[in-house]
A and B are shown apart, each in its own frame.
Chain A
Amino acid sequence: MSDNNWIEIGKVEDIPRQGARVVTRAEGDIAIFRTVDDEIFALRDKCPHKGGPLSQGIVHGKRVACPLHDWKIHLDSGHAVAPDEGCAARFPVKVEGGVIQLSLTPDEGCPNK
């Protein structure tokens, strides 16, 4: 992946701990999550169940509970917690000096981009 793919989106403190903010774009929003341990994850803001906005859910551990019907989604893989099946595409993120960098090229493998 070439470096110019990364864009700066803001600082870690801009996102509430155990919460999320949204990066809006024409192709559909991306949800940026911050866990209780300050880990940052990025997923397509669209639940594999019926498209609920994952950014609005409750973040616990490395999971988010979808606000619409309570599916749980793994933040690190984008996959639904079994027995539910489906995924939300994962976007690469990195934190450098407290600043979050996001790549707009999703990982391969999940159709829900």
Chain B
Amino acid sequence: MKEKLVLIGNGMAGVRALEELLKLAPEQYDITVFGGEPYGNYNRILLSPVLAGEKTIDEIMLNDEQWYVDNNITLHKGKWVEDVNRAQRVVRATDGTEEKYDRLIIATGSSPFIIPIPGNEFEGVIAFRDIANVDTMLVAAKKEGGKAVVIGGGLLGLEAANGLMKQGMDVTVVHLMDTLMERQLDKPAGALLKASLEEKGMKFLMEAQTEAVLGKDKVESVRFKDGLEIPADIVVMAVGIKPNIELAKKIGVHCERGIVVSDTMQTFDPRIYSVGECLQHRGQTYGLVAPLFEQAKVCANHLAHLGIARYEGSVTSTKLKVTGIDLFSAGDFQGGDDTEELVLQDPGRGVYKKVVLRDHRIIGAVMYGDTIDGTWYFELLRDSTDVSDIRDHLLFGQAHLGDSGHGDDNRVAAMADTAEICGCNGVCKGEIVAAITKKNLFTLDDVRAHTKASSSCGSCTGLVEALLAHTLGGDYSESPAKKPLCGCTEFTHDEIRAGLRDNELKDIPAVLQFFEWRTPDGCARCRPALNYYLLCQWPGEFRDDSQSRFINERAHANIQKDGSYSVIPRMWGGETTPAELKAIAEVAEKYKVKTVHITGGQRISLFGLQKEELPKIWGDLSKAGLVSGHAYGKALRTVKTCVGREWCRFGTQDSTQMGIDLEKMTWGSWTPHKYKMAVSGCPRNCAEATIKDFGVVCVDSGYELQVGGNGGIKVRVTDYLCSVETAENVKEYAAAYMQLYREEAHYLERTAPWLERVGLTYVKEKIVEDEEGRKALAERFLYAQKFAQDDPWAERAEGGEAHEFTPIKQVG
């Protein structure tokens, strides 16, 4: 028989836990839900747009009643649970309905705080929490010239006030403090916000303490401590919420401010879990959706007996959902003695940005007017990235939104539905918005799965996130303290790398077993990563697993859209000879190559070859001394050079020879992502060394070394690493730098984002300042190269991996 799972509280957190559970273990439990409200599950966040008339109740339903039927979930809607017998494991509702449980989730959310003043029980005094409250407000707003008083100038109060104003009411916001949203904003940002809301017609009474609500049964006015009295048809109290722990307390589950839970979301009674606003975890309670969703995930994982996920707390960020006002805040933005503040103020544009730093890391941010970089700051904050190196332009934003031709058009709200967001997959704004609303998508991953937007090169990720926030009216970006390698595990890239090293795991099955992978043999994301990590960690010992490589690396050629392949032999340092050219010409004729192209990497490519003929072609090229160019691999690609001192009147060193030497030293090595180098003979830089992963610019006194450049999706100019004097130095630094990247970057992370993540200072410490460390890195690189420099083409031309290139059978 199936185990019985009962959920108390049909809100956002509880139902999300069920959704996660159904994904992991759809058959494990008989599920029953008690919900105090008489509906299916709806998106509470969007009550504000409903009140403002921008959305309807139907549009904010997340799971209608049919969903419960489809998933065999019994829904007791409109039934309030009043007691739980923990000894007998029975839940009882006020109407007498009883259900037995094996496991129980308490997700009772929170209740609005009602100020204890005379008159607070009058008709017309309400909170802003559920659909019933919104209905009451909408009825009150029907009255011509109606007046509303909103007590509380926080997020909720302002959204309520804005909605009522949109419904035609005359609204006064009363606030105890001198700054609006003081929990999310500092003074300057709060003042800007107040000014824009006043412009829209909202009235404010600051530093005012409410003393009583006056009227006869029904509210008529509100009186303040200083004697002032203002008329009101409706009073909305939005002064805060408190975790709803009444039931939990009554049944003896340990509570402090909230229901106390462990990292697996279990209360002191291990059969009882809790998720959502009602809980307290490591002393914290939460009032925003993103952390609740993380809790739901962990809870489901534990319920499914996977037992590998832990909740470690969340950092949250906030956006105000008032149309036309852009506001963002995250983390600790007030700062203290040990913090620094970076501030940008542009009253003309109505822009204010503040970033708070401690130990060169972002700990908080407030933005007003231009919030497009909010998600970026939030990511830097969560990853605890050292920002010393980008400090000088931090406030100007990441500007990655302009990359694919979006120009300044970064206000997603103003974009037309037909505007293309994802250039790789041709997805436009309208499609994304439709998918988000119709399919109830909340996260970037959801949008990627359903629309393919942002799933290829990723340069539109910022835009898609902005669209999500805009469409949903809130920021749901998940805030895990750590990002797992893929969906098969909870562990991060770094944890897995360290784990396979410390525990001497030497093949993929051993890693999967050690880290308790959720899938029997991983997926197309983790297997190639693990293959690389093992290969990098155990040179000469690990046997490459070709079935865990993407087709290009498995077949040593690049697959084309029609299933044919391309062949690009190496041309050392971009130099070639008549003999090599002849060999290539002969192959091209013999195999009727459709296109011969000079690549962007100073060499020649042959396009449109059939897989079966590859070994023969490689054999022919091999005879002329040509080897694989690895143009298909996460590996060393090209080393571009200019003619340098040999011919050029400005050349200062032999850049061509330097390029050839570097390529001879590094070819064949596998890297987290592709790796390109260049050597220019003088600062005119004809080989474009300053947009390469590792670049060398020759100067009269020696060589300038450049790192972390990228000429691809997001152009990044290199950072200057240091200058060295001799060609031998160049090689040592090149090998050491490449090895540091090989050992520490995440799979599929190119040097540019890697460098931005760890910081140039860190790389300098390792490569420039620590001579011993540098030499050791270079040595490890050269050692690994002993096992890497076999030409894969020659091997296969001689019959290696024959199954890869021949059909198992031909019929007809």
Contact = CB atoms under 8 A, between A and B. Distances in A.
Q: Is the interface of A mostly helix, strand, loop or mixed?
A: loop
A60 B517 CA distance: 13
Interface string B502-524: 00000000000000000111111
Contacts of B524: 57-58, 60, 65, 70, 72
Contact of A104 (B548, B561, B803, B811): B811
A14 B5 CA distance: 48
B559 to A, nearest CB: 6
Contact of B521 (A14, A18, A83): A18
A16 B550 CA distance: 15
Contacts of A59: 547
Contact of A25 (B528, B550, B561, B811): B811
Contacts of A77: none
Given A21-B808, A83-B449, A58 B559 contact: no
B547 A67 contact: no
Contacts of B807: 21-24, 29
Given A16-B547, A58-B550, A60-B524, A50 B808 contact: no
Given A58-B527, A58-B528, A83-B450, A16 B546 contact: yes
Interface in B527-561: 527-528, 546-551, 554-555, 559, 561
Interface string A1-28: 0000001011000111111011111110
A58 B548 contact: yes
A52 interface: yes
Interface size class of B (residues with CB under 8 A): 20 to 34
A32 B803 CA distance: 13
B436 to A, nearest CB: 13
A83 B450 CA distance: 6
Q: Which residue, A32, A35, A60, A83, has most C-beta atoms of chain B within 10 A?
A: A60
Contacts of A25: 810-812
A19 B808 contact: no
B803 A14 contact: yes
A9 B809 contact: yes
Contacts of A14: 803, 808
B547 A24 contact: no
Contacts of A36: 520-521
A53 B555 CA distance: 13
Given A10-B808, A32-B808, A83-B449, A56 B803 contact: no
Contacts of B803: 14-16, 21
B670 to A, nearest CB: 17
Contacts of A37: 520
Contacts of B811: 7, 23-25, 104
Nearest to A71: B452
B407 interface: no
B555 A58 contact: no
B563 interface: yes
A60 B561 contact: no
A110 interface: no
B555 to A, nearest CB: 7
Contacts, number: 91
Q: Which residue, B555, B559, B807, B810, has most C-beta atoms of chain A within 10 A?
A: B807
A46 to B, nearest CB: 9
A73 B521 CA distance: 16
A9 B559 contact: no
Contacts of B554: 56
Given A9-B808, A60-B521, A60-B527, A18 B561 contact: no
B661 to A, nearest CB: 35
A15 B559 CA distance: 20
B809 A17 contact: no
A95 interface: no
A60 B452 CA distance: 21
A50 B520 contact: no
A15 B806 CA distance: 11
Given A23-B808, A25-B812, A68-B559, A18 B449 contact: no
Contacts of A21: 803, 807-808
Q: Which residue, B523, B547, B812, has most C-beta atoms of chain A within 10 A?
A: B547
A60 B559 contact: no
A57 B521 contact: no
A98 interface: no
A50 B110 CA distance: 49
Interface string B3-23: 000000000000000000000
B563 A53 contact: yes
Given A60-B527, A104-B811, 13 more contacts: A15-B808, A18-B521, A19-B547, A21-B807, A23-B809, A24-B809, A24-B810, A51-B563, A53-B563, A56-B554, A58-B528, A58-B550, A83-B439
11 contacts: A10-B809, A23-B809, A24-B810, A25-B811, A37-B520, A53-B563, A58-B528, A58-B550, A60-B521, A67-B550, A83-B450
Q: Which 4 residue pairs are nearest across A and B when measured between Cβ atoms?
A: A65-B524, A21-B808, A18-B547, A58-B524
